[in-house]
Amino acid sequence: MSTPSRYAEFHRRSITDRDGFWREQAALIDWHKPFDQVCDYSRPPFATWFAGGLTNLCHNAVDRHLKDRADQNALVFVSTETETEKAYSFRELHAEVQRMAAILLQLGVKKGDRVLIYMPMIAEAAFAILACARIGAIHSVVFGGFASHSLASRIDDAQPVAIISADAGMRGGKVVPYKHLLDEAIALSAHKPAKVLMVNRGLAPLEVVAGRDEDYAALRQQHLNTEVPCEWVDSAHPSYILYTSGTTGKPKGVQRDTAGYAVALAASMRHIYMAQPGETYFSTSDIGWVVGHSYIIYGPLINGMATIMYEGLPTRPDAGIWWQLVEKYKVSVMFSAPTAARVLKKQDPAYLTKYDLSSLKALFLAGEPLDEPTATWMSDAIKKPVIDNYWQTETGWPIMAICNGIEPAPTKYGSPGKAVYGFDVRLIDESSGEEITEPNKKGVIAVEGPLPPGCLQTVWGDDERYVKTYWSSIHGSTMYSTFDWGVRDADGYFYILGRTDDVINVAGHRLGTREIEESISSHPNVAEVAVVGVADQLKGQVAVAFAVLKDPSLAASDADALKLEGAIMKVVDDQLGAVARPARVRFVSVLPKTRSGKLLRRAIQAVCEGRDPGDLTTMEDPTALQQVRDAVSA
C-alpha cells in the first residue's frame, strides 16, 4: 500500500482529529481569552467554533502588527479612475480606523448594532469595515452596483442603526452617483436608519438630509487623536452579514462569526495562498462580494500583509495596469476572477509581460468555472501558476483548492482541485441520496457537518431558513448542500458542473433569477416572465428573459419590441442595478410550463444554448418551447 501524501494526511486529520487540528490553527491569531472548547456541535447543524474565547477581528488585522510592522504598508489604495494612489502603513491604518470607530460611537452605534456600508472601492470603506469590527458592530456591505430596490430589501432585513456611503464611485471614467439611490432606498424601506455618514469625494452633488446625514471629513477632524480600544467579543459574536442570492426573491443574509472566521482566513493564507507576513496581496474583487471581505480586507491584514484596494478597470489606462501594480508593490499573491482573465485575453499579451512579475508566486482565480483555454493562456502570458479555487459566499473561504502551502501538487486545468482541509466533502446521488464513491460520476456536492470554522453560522434572523435551505435538501440525510453539481476523478480532483438551483453566475457574480423576474414583473406591460442563465463566452453566463406581455400589440414591430426591451432593462437597472440587467428580453405569448404550472427553466436554458431540452412529456403547451426557439433565433 502506498503511503498517503502529506496533504491527504493533513486533510484526513482535519476531519478525524477535528479539535486537535483546529486547536493548532487557532494559534495563528491573537486571543484576549483562550477558548474552552474547539467546536461545540451539540446543536447540529449549528456549530460554535472556539466557544468561550474572546477576540477581535480588527485587533488581529491591525493592532497586533503594530509591534513588528507599524511602518510597513498595510493598505494601498489605487484608483485609476480618480488618479489617486495612497499607501497607509499599519500605524496610519490604526489611526484611521480609530477615527472612524470614534465617529461611529459618536453616531450612537453600539456593539451588536448593524452598520450598512454602501461604498465604492475607497480606503474609507476599509476603515469602515475595520471600525465596525473594532467596536463589535456588525457590518453589512452592499455592493455599490446594486440599486435602490436591492438596497432597500437589505436595509429592511439588517435594520442598520447607521449607513456609511459616499457621493459616488467611478467606472471607466464615468461617475456613478450613489447618494440618490441611497435616499430612494431609505424612502422605500420600512426601517429608517438614524444616521447616514457620507464620504464626499467631490464627484457628485450631495443633497444633505438635515439631522440624519453627517459629513465624514468634518467628524474625522474632531477625532484626529481619539483612541478607541478594541471591544473583545465572544468567538461566536457575528462579525458581518453579507447578502447573497438564492432561489427566492428575498436575498439571504449570510451571517459570519468572529473567531472561526479569523482562524480560517489566517490558515488559508498560509496553506492555500502561500502568503507570508510582510508580502503584498492583490485581490481585484470588490468589497461588496465575499472575496473582498475575505481576501481584500481581513485575510491579508490578519496575515500581516499589505493589501491593494483597486478602483478601476483591468484595461484602463491600458491592460498593463494590474501588472504594473504587481511590479511596483512587489505583489506576491494575486486573486481575480476568470471573467477578468477572459477580458485580458482579448488584449495584447505584451501588456502582461511588460513588467517585472518576479515577486508573484501565483495568480488565483475563483468565483465561476475557469475554462482550460483561459487558464492556459493566462499562465503562458504571465509565466506563473494559475490556480483555480472553488467556494461560496456561505463558506467564506475555499472548499476546493490545491493546498500548495502544505504540499505542492499539480494543477489540472478545468478543476479547482481537491477538498480543502476541514471540509468533509461528499458527492451525493440526487435521486437516491446515496454517497457516490466511484470516480467520474456526477452528483451534488455536499459537506458533512459541522462546517469548518469561517463558514456561515446561520441566515441572519432566520435559523429556520438556514436549516431548511442548506441542510434539508439532500435526500434522506442532514448534509450541507452547495447546490452545485460536480464529479471527482480517481485522484480526488473535483470538477464543478453548474448549479442545481436557479442561481446564475454572471462574471463571477451570483444572481437569483427570481429576483430579476420579480423586478421585470413590475413593468406595467409584463404579465409573466422567466429568466434563465445562458452560456456566454466572456461572462460565463448572462441572464436572458422571456416575457409574456399584457398587451402584445405594444411590441408588434421590431422597433417597438426594441423600445420595450430597453424600458424593461431600465426597470431592472433602477431597481436592482445594472449588474442584474438581462442581456436580452425576448417576447413570447406563452412560457414553457409543466401541467402543474412549474416553469421549465432548464428546458428554456437548453434551447437557448442549442442543447436537447430533454423529456417534455409534462409540458402543458407543446408550442411554448418552439416560441422560445423562434424568439432566440429572431
Chain residues in the site for ligand AMP (CB under 6 A): 244, 290, 366-370, 388-393, 416, 482, 484, 496, 499, 505, 510
Q: 601-608 vs 624-633: helix axis angle to the nearest 10?
A: 30
Q: What is the DSSP string of 494-561?
A: EEEEEESSSEEEETTEEEEHHHHHHHHHTSTTEEEEEEEEEEETTTEEEEEEEEEESSGGGG-SHHHH
CB-wise, 236 or 496, nearer to ligand AMP?
496
Residue 387's closest CA among 344, 349, 340, 335?
335
**Least CB distance to ligand AMP at residue 226 (A):** 37
CB-wise, 186 or 264, nearer to ligand AMP?
264
Cβ distance 430 to 475 under 8 Å? yes
CB-wise, 304 or 540, nearer to ligand AMP?
540
Residue 129's closest CA among 280, 283, 301?
301
**Least CB distance to ligand AMP at residue 419 (A):** 13
CB-wise, 367 or 453, nearer to ligand AMP?
367
**Least CB distance to ligand AMP at residue 400 (A):** 7
Q: What share of the chain is helix, strand, coil (3-state, %, to 5)?
A: 35, 25, 40
**Least CB distance to ligand AMP at residue 336 (A):** 12
Residue in the shown chain whose Cβ atom is closest to ligand AMP: 510
CB-wise, 388 or 502, nearer to ligand AMP?
388
Residue where the block lists cell 458592530: 137
CB-wise, 290 or 526, nearer to ligand AMP?
290
CB-wise, 157 or 231, nearer to ligand AMP?
157
Q: Number of C-alpha atoms within 13 angstroms, CB side, residue 187?
A: 9
Cβ distance 287 to 301 under 8 Å? no
CB-wise, 505 or 627, nearer to ligand AMP?
505
**Least CB distance to ligand AMP at residue 415 (A):** 9
CB-wise, 179 or 601, nearer to ligand AMP?
601
CB-wise, 416 or 453, nearer to ligand AMP?
416
CB-wise, 447 or 628, nearer to ligand AMP?
447
**Least CB distance to ligand AMP at residue 65 (A):** 28
Alpha-carbon span 634 to 632, nearest angstrom: 6
What angle (nearest 5°) sits at the alpha carbon of residue 145, between those of residues 150 and 395?
A: 75
**Least CB distance to ligand AMP at residue 120 (A):** 19
**Least CB distance to ligand AMP at residue 216 (A):** 29
Alpha-carbon span 581 to 598, nearest angstrom: 24
CB-wise, 230 or 264, nearer to ligand AMP?
264
Q: Check residue 33 and report its DSSP letter.
A: B
Residue 427's closest CA among 503, 369, 491, 485?
485
**Least CB distance to ligand AMP at residue 41 (A):** 24
Alpha-carbon span 613 to 53, nearest angstrom: 54
Which residue type, as a one-letter code, is found at position 128?
Answer: A
Q: What is the 3-state secondary structure (H, E, C) of 423-443?
A: CEEEEECCCCCCECCCCCCCE
**Least CB distance to ligand AMP at residue 610 (A):** 22
Cβ distance 480 to 446 under 8 Å? yes
Alpha-carbon span 302 to 99, nearest angstrom: 20
Name the E strands within 8-149: 37-43, 46-51, 54-55, 73-79, 84-89, 114-118, 138-141
**Least CB distance to ligand AMP at residue 52 (A):** 30
**Least CB distance to ligand AMP at residue 548 (A):** 29
CB-wise, 213 or 484, nearer to ligand AMP?
484
Alpha-carbon span 69 to 18, nearest angstrom: 33
Q: Check residue 232 and report its DSSP letter.
A: P
**Least CB distance to ligand AMP at residue 371 (A):** 10
CB atoms within 10 A of CB 463: 15
152: helix, strand or coil: helix
**Least CB distance to ligand AMP at residue 203 (A):** 28
Alpha-carbon span 285 to 121, nearest angstrom: 9
CB-wise, 169 or 540, nearer to ligand AMP?
540
CB atoms within 10 A of CB 30: 13
**Least CB distance to ligand AMP at residue 182 (A):** 23
CB-wise, 238 or 540, nearer to ligand AMP?
540
C-alpha cell at 249: 426573491
Backbone conformation region of residue 53, classed left if phi is above 0, alpha if psi is from -120 to 50, else beta: beta
Element (H, E) at 310: strand 306-311
Residue 246's closest CA among 74, 411, 399, 460?
460
